Amino acid sequence: MKRNYLSVYFPLIDGAGERRTKNLCIAFNDEEKPLFEKLQKLNSQDIKKAIAIFTYKRLMEVSEKENRKPTELIKIRLAEKLIHRGQSVKRNIEINPAVIKKWVGVLKKSDNKIYGEITDFLESIVSND
């Protein structure tokens, strides 16, 4: 499997308040070749504009919030913007079984029929836990 690489530069303010540049190297595998080919023509500023993240600090904040590696976040956002354009992109979600079980308990107290269907769905999500 051949990998292709792309560098994106982000501004960073270091501990001393000095402005630096952080280089992020993104690897693309064979399945991601169409995305890499579109990105080859773009510079760092174009990529940052496409993902709507302009600093390394913000990239790290968003990555942490979405529970992703920074490079993974960049590739997903670029795929949404440049390849899929309005189509859904496969994403991972983190499930908290305790919270879902709490919701199920609240929903079971209702006589509303739709809540029963929602309860069944939620229980199926956490049934393996």
* Boundaries of domain holding 32: 4-84
Instruction: Give the type of residue at 97.
Output: P
Instruction: Give Cα 36 to chain centroid, integer Å.
Output: 17
The per-residue pLDDT for 93 is 66
pLDDT bucket at 129, cuts 50 / 70 / 90: very low
Number of domains in the chain: 2
> In this structure, what are the phi and psi dihedrals at residue 7, rounded to the nearest 5 degrees?
-105, 140
The reply to whether 73 and 104 lie within a common domain is: no
The reply to whether 79 and 102 lie within a common domain is: no
26 with 70: CB under 8 angstroms? no
pLDDT bucket at 8, cuts 50 / 70 / 90: very high
Q: Kindly report, residue by residue over 37-67, the tens digit of the pLDDT.
A: 988 889 999 999 999 999 999 999 999 999 9
Determine the Cα–Cα distance for residues 16 and 73; give it in Å rounded to an integer.
28
Closest CA to 22 of 86, 65, 74: 74
Q: Looking at the domain assignment, is residue 29 inside a domain?
A: yes
Listed range (10-14, 86-90, 111-115) with the worst mean pLDDT? 86-90
Q: Looking at the domain assignment, is residue 116 inside a domain?
A: yes
The per-residue pLDDT for 95 is 78
